[in-house]
Structure 1
């Protein structure tokens, strides 16, 4: 359900947005609906035509059966009269064949008529007349066979047989006329249904041709728009590539200037710093000499120097000198770190295929003595190979593993795990997982900044390690992200292109 709703929203937005593709899809949908309607109408008309044809066939069978009954009655009467006139048996055979066939034909006619309210009464009257006529025929034939021809002729001359035959002829003719009328109506309806079917199909074909023409026109217009957009995109891309090239060159020059500036500033700062450190040593020596003189003066002339001066020489001056020395030492460390970053930014990258498992194992072995001392362990799983700069990769993983060892959680044995896998799109991902102090959420970005540190400051350092790591990762075209909770350890997610792409000077400076 969660996947269906976004899809429905996207489809709704597509329907609400007037675009050429939507018009084409609408026309295609209309054509499909029209085809479905035509198919449905054609199916209905075919069913009706089939029903009409069945009715026509049924009417034809009824008419044929009625004619067969009348023909057999005439044959039976003809055979009867021939036998009475000639007494020859062959005439009687014609009568007997007709009489034998009549029951089946009448039964067939009765089955065909079924419950037809208009024809059933007529067929019933035919049945009654038929029985009486057959009985009259049998009587005249029987009289003829016994030589009582006079009586047989008298029965015929009475006209009763003719009356019965005329009555049956009238009823059967009426049945035939009713079916003939129905046949005409059904034929007309069938022709109408066929005409409607043809008209609907012709109209649908015309509409489909119109829709096809409109669709072809829209598709042609759509293709022309796509081609125009493609040419425009090529033009924009060409301009964009030139802009990117120019901007890259500008950034490269700016980066080089920043690096040179950092180097010059750092180098120039060291000269006065060295002087300060030298004069600090001289001040320290002067303070010692003054202290010695004060000591001698106290021995020779007690009370000649006030206590405030003695405290200033023996306490305040050494404290100030130590403060200056500590500050200059820290400043010297920062300047050296800036110089190191500057030199690293100017160093050219040398891509090579790196056996990452062995490389990280070697880094882990360099800190194994510190880890083993506190009962910890470093686990390096099978890592995918990477084509990149060896020195940068060693410094990245070295810094991360050193940090994991340095910032362990007190009272908890160190556990460091390094694993990784290949990612889709030509990327390789690695993870450095530790169970150390962790980093609070508000400091996740802070720890990657220059000279910024988070948490308790009980370990030596200038706050440059992770800044250097991120700078190096970016130079290699990768990314680094931190997943951590305070007191729960940290996981550094590293992602690199499987093959280092060299785009001129890739230094990011400071």
Structure 2
């Protein structure tokens, strides 16, 4: 009996091993359908268990529980698409508050958290993918409030565990924070008058206000901060991070925009009379189209009596063949451009991690009190640090240009008080100007609200100020001036009396990677290209006036509210 039982056990074990081999073989065969993954990555996917994804019940439109108890939102759509493309098994766990999810991920109880911004504190125990959506952080007040920007010492409410709290502590250290358990309760307290100011991201604010039917709140303006949201994962799952980055790159700009448009809408709801007016206009348009259709049918009947157009059809056929050949060539060119864009984005992302390590170790060498360096060693470490920072700026510019070309860089114009932003940019540029012996001046008049993305406008101004200082001469000056004109909106001018540009250089100014023959100065040659595209996506423009040896004037034009 014991021998018979042993034989039965061995037979059962053999069948289980065969079944497991077939299952692994099937998973491996499925993974081979994804040639954009390496063999190591496909093998990891085939052998991996279910990966636990955190969710928050009231973080709409990213994750929220609807009236039927289902988990929905932009993050849910992205997880579904990532599973389809990569073969990963990402599954949401039971919804918990955001702060509890962060604790669970730190403790290893969760594997991923969607729609998350990278911060130094989180980077200590998490890795992050590239961002796939950008959302500005805004200040909310009740309708009728006389205050606009945050007043010194004024309390402000923020959600528990969100990255905006760290930003507010740095930018507004004199404003005490009131931490709320979730966004929904914070909006209700703001609407009822229990609090006077709250800060949260614009997408969640509009989603929650519309869902809760709150009618007495308004977006006061931005706070100079935006959530660049990607996927956070446990730091030890580095291979998973590579797979997620590659999979995100397979989702093209049109599909990303469609998912964003499904969940994030920044437009106000139309009133009943507006809807009735639109319906009436649609009915009138339908009648007009019907009349036009009858006229076209009558004309078509008359055209049947015209003599056969054999020769004309032959010409049209030849033209169609020519257009098809042109379309094919254009499709090949677009595919090559897309491949170039994906390569630049992936390469830039992969290069940034080792560069950060170089910078970190250079700083450790220079600041080690127990093993101080001599003067020559400090100078060499300084060269390493400067070269690494220059290369990091080049990589960041390449990533920004790649995201602009692929359409994944979000630009959201908002009502903006330009004065504080201008003062902040000028103060940040003063140390560089003083080091170069350049006088930096700010001439600011009372300004109206402008339509601009604060993060992107600050990026453009930093680039113009850096160029004005870099291509100047000792004892020169740089002047920043802002004013408003009824016909042109808000104008911001950055002028200098530096080297200036010739007519030939002006013609080549906005060409990518064109240094205009100034190789002696550090730079990437794409800063102005990025600035021009960012201004156009904000509904504005950038103009330049310059003469060789007499300085330059760069003028930004923005629409006013």
TM-score by length of 2: 0.31
**Bigger Rg, which one:** 1
Considering fraction of residues, name the structure with more strand: 2
TM-score by length of 1: 0.34
